[in-house]
Amino acid sequence: MSTAIITGIGSGIGRAVAIELSIRGYYDKFALLGRNVEAIQDTISEMRRNGAGHISFYPIDLSEPEKLPEIVRMIEKSEGDIAALYNIAGYTDPQPLFATTLESFELTYKVNVFAPFMLMREVAKYMRATGGRILNVASTAGMTPRPGWLSYASSKSSVIAMSKTLTAELAEYGIKVYCVSPGRCATKLRRRLAPDEDPSTIMQPEEVAEVICDLMNPKECCLDGQNIVIRKQI
């Protein structure tokens, strides 16, 4: 029985991915990680309407990455074979350098970098015996200068670098690591970065989810190890 672990499923890209996966049938079980209980329960209801059977919710605040090893152990023990990890959750507090506090910088890195790192490390311990797939969501903000977005942009650069490094490091175990960098997408996080933007004029979470789920198709074998930009020309 194959299990997919997904973060960020309360809204935006994570929610869209979870719902799309519930239609595609790649996995027998889902382990959903997050803290917004009401929003996650709504996502679970939608997944079940699409036919997803075994869905477990593990409450966790990703700003506390030290708790993740125990969560992964619980998932492996309860759900069985971990086939895939989707690191989708993100956080941003867009501030210029002189307004960025150490506390804000640390929080951004805990959610965007340390939590994915801990999940990849712990999941890979089990995937070493079976192979598996990891998907990390970075951002085009991590590829080019973004004045005023220091903590967020640098954290997403770290996600890109981690993904490329671990592609090579984990290949011997049959573990594939994918990385995507969406451009402007109508999510809650994007509203914090660009509050005056009309969300109807930019890419939608469902469009990004389609690309992610195509990449994570068990038959895909050629696109890991790259930073794949997802951008809609408008």
84 neighbors 134 (Cβ within 8 angstroms): yes
Please provide the average confidence, as pLDDT, over all residues in the chain. Answer: 95
Confidence band of 1 (pLDDT split at 50, 70, 90): low
- Residue 6 confidence (pLDDT): 98
Q: Identify the H or E element spanning 177.
A: strand 175-182
Confidence band of 151 (pLDDT split at 50, 70, 90): very high
Confidence band of 234 (pLDDT split at 50, 70, 90): low
Q: DSSP states of 80-128 as a string?
A: --EEEEEE---------GGG--HHHHHHHHIIIIIHHHHHHHHHHHHHT
- Residue 190 confidence (pLDDT): 84
pLDDT of 80 > 80? The answer is yes
**Degrees to nearest 5, angle at CA 161 with 156 and 163:** 95
- Mean predicted confidence (pLDDT) in 52-79: 96
For 104, phi and psi rounded to 5 degrees?
-65, -40
pLDDT digits (tens, 9 = 90+) for 7-50: 999 999 999 999 999 999 999 999 999 999 999 999 999 999 99
Angle between helices 205-215 and 12-24 (to 10 degrees): 50
d(Cα 202, Cα 197) in Å, to the nearest integer?
9
CA distances from 116 to 27, 78, 112, 135, 176 (A): 21, 21, 7, 10, 15
- Mean predicted confidence (pLDDT) in 163-189: 94
- Residue 140 confidence (pLDDT): 95
d(Cα 103, Cα 80) in Å, to the nearest integer?
37
pLDDT digits (tens, 9 = 90+) for 110-128: 999 999 999 999 999 999 9
pLDDT digits (tens, 9 = 90+) for 179-228: 999 998 988 888 888 888 888 888 999 999 999 999 999 999 999 999 99
Overall pTM > 0.85: yes
CATH superfamily for domain 3-230 = NAD(P)-binding Rossmann-like Domain (3.40.50.720)
SS3 132: strand
Q: Enumerate the domain spans of the chain.
A: 3-230
d(Cα 41, Cα 87) in Å, to the nearest integer?
19
63 neighbors 107 (Cβ within 8 angstroms): yes
- Residue 186 confidence (pLDDT): 80
pLDDT of 157 > 70? The answer is yes
- Residue 193 confidence (pLDDT): 82
pLDDT of 65 > 80? The answer is yes
- Residue 53 confidence (pLDDT): 85
SS3 223: coil
Choose between 231 and 202: higher pLDDT. Answer: 231
